[in-house]
Amino acid sequence: MIDTLLAEQHGPILVLTLNKPQKLNAIDADMLIELALQIEAADMDDTIAVTVIRGAGRAFSTGFDMSAGGSTEPAGPRLRANLERFLTIWRARKPVVAAVDGYALGAGFILANLCDFVYASERATFGEPEIRYWNPASITILPWLVGVRRAKQLLFFGRPLDARTALDWGLVNDVLPDANFFETVLDAARPLTHLHPDGVAALKRSINGGFDIAGFVDALRAGVDAIAPLYEPDAPAKNAARAEVERLGFKAYIRHRDSLLGN
């Protein structure tokens, strides 16, 4: 186990906490690998019926951790490996619940979107802001969830969604009060622990399998392959953004891009 992903059991509910609050739970490779391993282990553990994923502090997750700088490795294999680790949630036999309190952006939004249920606090904020500052999101799951028009609105403009709008768009199951949010999520998930595990597994396989027959996973993989060249170490868009950051400074660059694209 690593200290940036914590695991604890609340009876039959496994709670996985993204634990990098000083960086708003930005996800790194080790966290994603460990998350996939924990989801797979929960499927094999008869004492666990449901997994809840949450973030420490004031965010669920603001995306991938970019503080270490860009990778010098080829982008395609790395991005495909990230996708397969995220898909561990999609393939899991047991329900996975996202408890989103605060920001769920970029990879954090993708993580929540692959869960079976999403509960949001009143202060939750969702979005895919990547294209505003760098390159588009590498995993384009949104068209499958909200339709092409709304997905393009989110992905091209990168503007955030508040919790109530996310509920209206079908991206979350319920919006819960900020006070005692986590305990309320556990209460919401607890009825799932009383269902027969075979029935739960079969129902999830039926629903997700229908998406797979329609091309869901193949589409995500094809999308990663289409976007991967933009993440290569020598990609023009990446180098242009990096030059602007060096010229303006990071915070001024963000403000400049936001002024061009609107909030």
Considering only CA atoms, which of 188, 47, 194 is closest in space to residue 117? 188
For residues 219 and 244, state if they share a domain: no
For residues 223 and 241, state if they share a domain: no
Q: What is the mean pLDDT of residues 242-251?
A: 93
Q: How confident is the model at residue 237 (pLDDT cuts 50, 70, 90)?
A: confident
Considering only CA atoms, which of 251, 204, 239, 218 is closest in space to residue 94? 204
For residue 99, what are the β-bridge partners?
54, 119
For residues 141 and 241, state if they share a domain: no
For residues 97 and 174, state if they share a domain: yes
Q: What is the mean pLDDT of residues 103-107?
A: 97
For residues 51 and 133, state if they share a domain: yes
Find out whether 237 and 135 touch, Cβ atoms under 8 Å.
yes
Please, what is the average pLDDT of the chain? Answer: 95
Q: How confident is the model at residue 71 (pLDDT cuts 50, 70, 90)?
A: low
Residues in the chain: 263
**How far is Cα 19 from Cα 220, in angstroms, rounded to an integer?**
27
Share of the chain above pLDDT 90, in %: 91
For residues 143 and 54, state if they share a domain: yes
For residues 220 and 116, state if they share a domain: yes
Q: How confident is the model at residue 263 (pLDDT cuts 50, 70, 90)?
A: confident
The model's pTM is 0.95
Considering only CA atoms, which of 165, 166, 159, 162 is closest in space to residue 262? 159
Give the domain range for residue 244.
233-261
For residues 15 and 71, state if they share a domain: yes
pLDDT of residue 70 exceeding 70, the answer is no
pLDDT of residue 68 exceeding 60, the answer is no
What confidence tens digit (pLDDT) does each residue in 199-222 have?
999 999 999 999 999 999 999 999
For residues 220 and 163, state if they share a domain: yes
CATH number assigned to the domain comprising residue 152: 3.90.226.10
For residues 219 and 257, state if they share a domain: no
Q: How confident is the model at residue 114 (pLDDT cuts 50, 70, 90)?
A: very high
For residues 147 and 244, state if they share a domain: no
Give me the number of domains the chain comprises. Answer: 2
**How far is Cα 109 from Cα 112, in angstroms, rounded to an integer?**
5
For residues 67 and 90, state if they share a domain: yes
Q: What is the mean pLDDT of residues 29-37?
A: 97
What pLDDT, on the 0 to 100 scale, is given for residue 10?
97
- The label of the residue with tokens 């490996």 reads 81
The DSSP secondary-structure symbol of 93 reads S
What pLDDT, on the 0 to 100 scale, is given for residue 119?
98
Considering only CA atoms, which of 169, 157, 201, 203 is closest in space to residue 43? 201
pLDDT of residue 247 exceeding 60, the answer is yes
